[in-house]
Structure 1
Amino acid sequence: METINIQGPYNFDLVLDRLKMDPLHHVDLQKRAVKVPMMIKNEPIVAEVTAIGTTDHPAFEISGIEHSLKEQALDRLKELFKWHLPLDGIYNHFQQTDLKELFTAHYGTPLVLDFDPYSCLLKCIVHQQLNLKFAHTLTERFVKTFGFQQDGAWFYPQPEKLAQIKVEELRELQFSGRKAEYAIGVATAVMDGQLDFEKLKNMSDADIHDKLIKLRGVGPWTVQNFLMFGLGRPNLYPLADIGIQNALKKHYQLEAKPTYAEMEDYAKDWHPYLSYASLYLWRSIE
């Protein structure tokens, strides 16, 4: 068992509330805990993270990583939950903007990453052009059919397995033919060495965009969501995202969804934390 103390504010209960939306996540709200599936050096590891502190004085107990990859697993958890990034500066920045009320209402909400960049990209592809409820249903079918479970946590089908799956098998789960091809294509790109997620971590947003956009089925929305939730980049603002458009319409009490020009105008004071603005706008309607 490891104990980690970090600088507040950090509201882990709001983190769990958002993670709970995905049926694949093993979340215990009463215990204030989540099981985190991670691939460390190609070995599946499941850590359980339990909050034992408060928003202003956050602390966590980590269990399930008592083995040779313990230090790597702890480093990955710190990266996933952004424990190294104090939120007070971001909160203070938005107190000077017209998103002040949102950052007060969701005080201490961090930008938590998806548990694996490979599965994040797959999830982004599956979720494209679907309402959120069916997107979660389809992803759950996909993972529970072709992935695997360990210590109560679900892992997405690894590239070597997904690359061998036939389009028809995914069609049986209600994938469209193209979406099935896109998902299999991601796994094939990993297996062929065209896509290396460790190398992506050290590339600029622009270079990652240029790399990923070449994959079939990957457009600007997918790249932006991957940059935000796969790699934790802080300054992303997906203009085409319907959720953000609806949140802005609600926040500014507009009669219609804002245009891209209006969205960019609203955001002029939100840099360099557009990803946090996006997250808090999503939270305002979830």
Structure 2
Amino acid sequence: MAGFTFTLDLAPGYRLHDVLAFHRRDTEAVAEQVEAHRLRKGVMLDGVPVLLDVAFEGRFGSSRDSLGAPGRAVCTVHANGKLSAAVRRRVEVQAHDAILNILGLRIDPAPFCAFAADDALLGDLVRAQPGLLIVQSATVFEALTWAVIGQQINLSFAIALRRTLIQLAGRRHSSGSWCYPGPQDVAALELDALLARKFSRAKGETLLRLARLVDSGALDLALSPANSIEQISAALLAVKGIGPWTVNYGLLRGYGDADCSLHGDVAIRAALQALLNEEVKPDMARTEQLLARYAPHRTMAAAHLWASLHPLADKE
């Protein structure tokens, strides 16, 4: 088994408990195992089962303040099998990117905090939760499949369907952990296997369509000078079953795009309803207008609105 280790510095006030809570959502822990100061996640990278093992060292503050000394994340990557030099290099790059994603290190929260600290609508939320992070999926493909799974269903059911997809299409790492599947793995599934496990036909067909387009190379998810985020967005919107909400959510969780407008998100609208103290949720058009004032930081605005619905209890 190939392996390597690297260390990432974590700023004072790093909200470790928020990050761990995000990865602890699946109580059966098939692909993510969370301990007090450790996170392990299985994921397919370049067709290789990989375990990302992150140990956190340092003192971390509470969920509502910016206390805490600088810490660090000691990241060990365990890849199954004996890898060629070329595959090892690709896995190393992808693993480093995946760890930045799952630790919420893509978007610096400070610019939005400064931007919105005195905002009439979100200022109180920002001051109450300094340093709030956007935690991402390990890969863009994971983010997009999670967005498809989560369309128009509640979170607990979405988590159960995600677990099913992992167990149907994923592979086990030598450690025993399931690895979140890659496009090749999902593309090989039959629709009937998904339908038998509570996937709707529309959801199952969209997942398979997306996976097969990515696996074949017809849909390129890699950012490059020749393939911008705008081009990727347009290509995703052209896929049957994928709409603006799925694209924006995928951009947020997959690429760490800092200016995603989640005006189609029901929870965002519910949070705004509570803040505005109104009897009904604002419609999508008004929600888009309300969020527009926070450009180019609309992703962080969404994060604070989500967090306002589910405040975390302080704990070390």
TM-score (norm 2): 0.80
Deviations 1:230-285 (A, max 9, x none): 11100012111111111111222211101234323433431211001111111211
Match of 1:220 among 236, 244, 257: 244
Match of 1:124, SS state, is helix
Specify whether residues 261 and 177 from structure 1 end up closer, same or farther in structure 2 by C-alpha distance, changes over 3 A only: closer
TM-score (norm 1): 0.88
Instruction: Structure 1 unaligned segments of length 5 or more: list them.
Output: none
Q: CA deviation at 1:38?
A: 4.0
In the alignment, is residue 7 of structure 1 matched against residue 11 of structure 2? yes
In the alignment, is residue 132 of structure 1 matched against residue 142 of structure 2? no
Residue identity matched to 1:125: V
- Give the aligned CA root-mean-square deviation in angstroms: 2.5
Deviations 1:82-125 (A, max 9, x none): 53654322222221213122223332221121011112211111
In the alignment, is residue 96 of structure 1 matched against residue 109 of structure 2? no
Aligned runs of 1:194-205 on 2, under 5 Å? 194-199=218-223, 203-205=227-229
C-alpha contact 2:171 2:181 (8 A) present in aligned 1: yes
Match of 2:261 among 232, 237, 243: 237
Q: Corresponding residue for 2:278?
A: 254
Residue identity matched to 2:50: I
Residue identity matched to 1:12: L
C-alpha contact 1:9 1:88 (8 A) present in aligned 2: no
Match of 2:7, SS state, is strand
Match of 1:18 among 15, 22, 25: 22
C-alpha contact 2:51 2:179 (8 A) present in aligned 1: no
Residue identity matched to 1:87: P
Residue identity matched to 1:89: P
Q: With CA pairs under 8 Å and 6+ residues apart, which has the higher RCO, 1 or 2? A: 2
Name the CA distance, whole Å, in 1 between partners of 2:92 and 2:189: 34
196-205 or 53-62, which deviates more: 196-205
> May I ask how many residue pairs the two structures share in their alignment?
285
Q: Corresponding residue for 1:28?
A: 34
Q: CA deviation at 1:194?
A: 0.6
Match of 1:165, SS state, is coil
Q: Corresponding residue for 2:65?
A: none
Q: Corresponding residue for 1:122?
A: 145
Identical pairs, percent? 24
Specify whether residues 193 and 268 from structure 1 end up closer, same or farther in structure 2 by C-alpha distance, changes over 3 A only: closer
Specify whether residues 35 and 189 from structure 1 end up closer, same or farther in structure 2 by C-alpha distance, changes over 3 A only: same
